Structure formats: structure tokens, C-alpha cells
Amino acid sequence: MQESQQSKTFSLTDDGIQAEFGVNHVGHFFFTKLLLPKIKASQLARIVNVNSRNHFFVENGSKFEKLSDPDALDATQRYSLLKLANILFTNELNKRYLEERIYATSLHPELVDTQMSRKNNLSASETFLSSSISTENGAITNDTVLLVQKSKRKIIVEDILIHLV
């Protein structure tokens, strides 16, 4: 699952879920749940969630309940918290299904110049342009993780290099 949407505006879904969290986390969770029977039927399955380093910006004591409060978090804090939620979800998938040979991992492909980044006007900033990589190079990280078969070692992807720990 890839490419998430970062919104500067706050809104709730009809179900009372913060919209960005609904799109970028609950949607991924539900999609994975729907695919799980097919994934389990595979001989060797991988779940790769494309994520972001933004989870590093989550402050100690941040609570997921704050996502529904329009005044509690700014856009970056909300986005960072949902990126952490995706990593925690992926780690839990890996823990629950490793014995069934389903491997789940998260990766950060770096700053990729995509349609989504253009839509959010990120590519207009000089900082983004100077540090972003092409979609082709961003895909290398995804492809490499998909090709690597490891059982109980974590795969950490950084700067399009794979470090096994």
C-alpha cells in the first residue's frame, strides 16, 4: 500500500473518524483484512506498507484519540501519528502471521516526486526538488524489499539500501 494523502484541513468522516486517518490507516487496515484469506493461501506472502519517516516526529505522550480533536494536533503531527499507526499495524501483522510465512514490513522510499506530491504543492518547494527522487528510483526500494526473503530478521530500508538487523 502506497502513497498517502496529507491534508492541511481537518475533517471527520460520517463515522466520526478523522478523514486523513481514515484514508491513510483505516483504509489500509480494511484492505489488508479483505486480502488476508488470499494472502494466507499464498505459499510465500509479503505485505509491504510504504510509509514515511514522519513517525519519528511523534511526540512522547501523543495519543491516537487526539486525531479526532481539531485543535489538538497540527497537520504534520496528525500525519506523523498516522504513519506511526501504520508501522505499529505492520509490526503486529508480522508478529501474528510470521509462523504462517506471511512477512510484513514497512519501508520509507525517500521523498519521491509523485502526482500526490505535486497535488499537495510539495514539488514546488526548492527543498523538496533538491532532495526528491524519481518514481523509478523510489520503486527500487519497494522492489528490493519484495525480492528479499528473510524469516525472523527485520528489514530496514534507508536511502534505497537495505540493512538487515
Residue 121: all three cell numbers together? 504543492
The residues carrying an active-site annotation are 79
Closest residue by Cα to residue 80 from 62, 103, 102: 62
Closest residue by Cα to residue 48 from 82, 84, 88, 90: 90
Rounded to an integer, what distance in angstroms lies between the CA atom of residue 158 and that of residue 49? Answer: 14
Rounded to an integer, what distance in angstroms lies between the CA atom of residue 105 and that of residue 48? Answer: 5
Place of cell 526473503: 149
Rounded to an integer, what distance in angstroms lies between the CA atom of residue 41 and that of residue 77? Answer: 38
Place of cell 505535486: 118
Closest residue by Cα to residue 75 from 131, 1, 19: 19
- The two beta strands, 155-158 and 45-50, are unpaired
